[in-house]
Amino acid sequence: MKAKVIDIDPKLFEYHGVLSYPNVKDINLGLSYVLKPLYGNNAVFSKKHYTKTGNFVLGPEYEEKMDENIEEIKKQEENLDVIINSNANIDKTWLDTLYFCEYCFRYTNLKDDLTNHIENCYYKHNLPGRHVYIGDEYLIKKVSTQTHALFLQCMCLFTKFFLDNKSSFCNIEEFEFYVLYAKESDTELSIRNKPLGFFSKQIGSLSFESLSSIMIIPPYTKRKLGTLLIEFSYAIGIHELTSFGKMISSKEVITTGPESPLSPFGLSLYLNYWQKVLVKKMIEYRNKKDIGNVSLIRYLINETHFEPNDIILTLKSIECIKVSKKRNSKFIDWDVVEQFYKRKNLINHKPLINNDELLFHY
């Protein structure tokens, strides 16, 4: 039997889910949105099929073929004499178009299959999880990894095309998931019952982080949804840690924040949020007459419950920390703070989350 030379790169599946380049040309979300992936994702492809044939097929597609004609495929693979060329120049485009359902994130490489699926998708009319926040425009649901494991895994697999390798998709049982939806129908974009974004939070973290990973689905950016999820994550974190502090009779100020390091997308969201909250609090601090001996940093910690390192990072980002060469010390340039305050019109800045709309019954 003549050996078949297969050009494969064993390293392509070395880190499951992580690639240094986009390997899918276009991501179609539903039938309306064509998105350009920022990262590669090998987790949706069959590693077994690739190592045996050198071809890329979706994992579900390979498993379905195995189910349909398992004996024939097994026989073909057993008789295939393969010589691996590990120095192969692999085409970086594994698939031209990958289609995701905009309700449940199930995926396929066939448009007709997606169309048929959407017509009958369970999540088109049934939102997963239970309510933890109901606002005027949006609601947030805590989704169980036991009841809706496939939904969450597919959502995380979709996310990996747009976030770095921090997003999890395998060990989802280690996390809590909070998914954001529009409360009412939007006739222009028809976003009712479609996940707009989500964040995950590690269960039992010894560092008490309020958030592990955050994602706003690309078509729904520019709606302040990232800020909404961040505010909600802090509300949950502070609520849980305050309860814990009471249980152990701690009088220390509870601080919380996102897991580090953040993805570039997450860091951008957080800095935008931190800057506005902290600068407004800094102006309040400066105008208070009964502040006593409380330092600025201590005041910001008490008021926001932000981690000290996050506060320092934010102050550096707006370049308001200056160094006095004469005194060899650092100080706050209040002119910079005031300019930022006016430029961002923070006098009208208000939280998006209303505490009366939080449902802490979980």
Provide the annotated active-site residues: 259
CA angle 190/26/57 to nearest 5° reads 115
Q: Do residues 146 and 159 touch, judged by C-beta distance below 8 A?
A: no
DSSP line for 32-92? TEEE--SSB--TTB-HHHHHHHS---BHHHHHHHHHHSHHHHHHHHHH--EEEETT----S
Location of structure tokens 């498993």: 63
φ, ψ for residue 100, nearest 5 deg: -120, 140
For the chain, state the CA radius of gyration.
Answer: 25
For residue 261, whether the previous peptide bond is cis, meaning omega lies within 30 degrees of 0, is yes
| DSSP state at residue 131 | E
Indicate if the alpha-carbon torsion angle 53, 55, 60, 66 is positive or negative: negative
